[in-house]
């Protein structure tokens, strides 16, 4: 009986110790590490406008095709639905992919008023997640003149806003530079408050 009680006592002490460590100290340590090292990612990267949550900088926000005042993200295989995440799963040699890219390239060229050859690859292909807000600096630069005309902002000012939402290779773990369309469009919206868009920009 004494041995049984001893075993129960050891089991209870071990349970209490593991509860404190794994149920209390470990979650607190992970929380503190997240807040100290990557607070934006830990808190959802919420972007606020006038004190209200507006979007997450980790997710692309769809822009209607008729809206000329904002920057378009990459195409999305899931229509930018945050409840799902997927790519087209088409092979690089698939005829369907080539057809979709050709159609998208023609549409982007017409929208931006440039030759189809000037449209960068990321403007006509979706990301692996379908939710990526980042585009290449080349695609952002391609859209800048149209955004400047539609918003009434100067082209130089629009380029400055682009630079403010550009992530360097070092910040993206030595990857390529990219422009976050979600934070960029929020910056454009904040900047053009009080600046009426030109007629026909909707």
Task: Report domain extents, the chain.
Answer: 1-43, 44-191
* 34 burial via Cβ count (<10 Å: 0-12, 13-18, 19+): middle
List the structure tokens of 40.
Answer: 């934006």
Residue owning tokens 């380029």:
159
CA distance 161 to 178: 13
CA distance 114 to 146: 11
- DSSP 8-state code for residue 25: I
Contact 152, 197 (CB under 8 A): yes
Buried b (16+ CB within 10 A) or exposed e, 137-174: bebbebbbebbbbbbebeeeebbebbeebbbeeeeeee
CA distance 5 to 12: 10
Is pTM beyond 0.75 here?
no
Alpha carbon distance, N-terminus to C-terminus of the chain: 83
pLDDT value for 85: 87
pLDDT in tens, the chain (202 residues): 577 878 878 888 888 888 988 888 788 788 777 666 656 555 556 666 666 666 788 888 899 989 999 999 999 989 888 888 888 888 888 898 899 999 999 999 999 999 999 999 999 999 888 899 999 999 999 999 999 999 999 999 999 999 999 987 665 556 689 999 999 999 999 888 765 444 443 3
Q: Which of 123, 12, 17 is nearest to 74 (CA)?
A: 123
Please give the order of strands across the beta sheet that includes 178-180. 134-135, 178-180, 166-167
List the structure tokens of 88.
Answer: 């087209």
Q: Which of 50, 75, 49 is nearest to 62 (CA)?
A: 75
């Amino acid at each position: 009986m004494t041995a049984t009680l001893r075993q129960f006592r050891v089991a209870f002490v071990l349970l209490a110790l593991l509860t404190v460590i794994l149920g209390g100290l470990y979650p607190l340590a992970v929380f503190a590490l997240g807040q100290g090292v990557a607070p934006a990612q830990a808190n959802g990267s919420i972007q606020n406008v006038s004190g209200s949550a507006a979007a997450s900088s980790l997710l692309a926000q769809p822009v209607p095709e008729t809206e000329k005042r904002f920057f378009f993200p990459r195409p999305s295989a899931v229509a930018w639905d945050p409840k799902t995440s997927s790519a087209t799963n088409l092979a690089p040699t698939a005829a369907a992919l080539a057809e979709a890219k050709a159609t998208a390239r023609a549409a982007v060229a017409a929208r931006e008023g440039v030759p189809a050859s000037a449209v960068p690859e990321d403007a006509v292909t979706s990301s692996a997640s379908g939710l990526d807000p980042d585009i290449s600096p080349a695609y952002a630069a391609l859209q800048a003149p149209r955004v400047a005309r539609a918003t009434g902002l100067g082209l130089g000012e629009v380029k400055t806003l682009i630079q403010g939402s550009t992530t360097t290779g070092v910040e993206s773990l030595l990857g390529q530079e990219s422009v976050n369309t979600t934070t960029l469009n929020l910056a454009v919206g904040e900047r053009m408050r009080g600046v009426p868009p030109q007629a026909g920009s909707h």
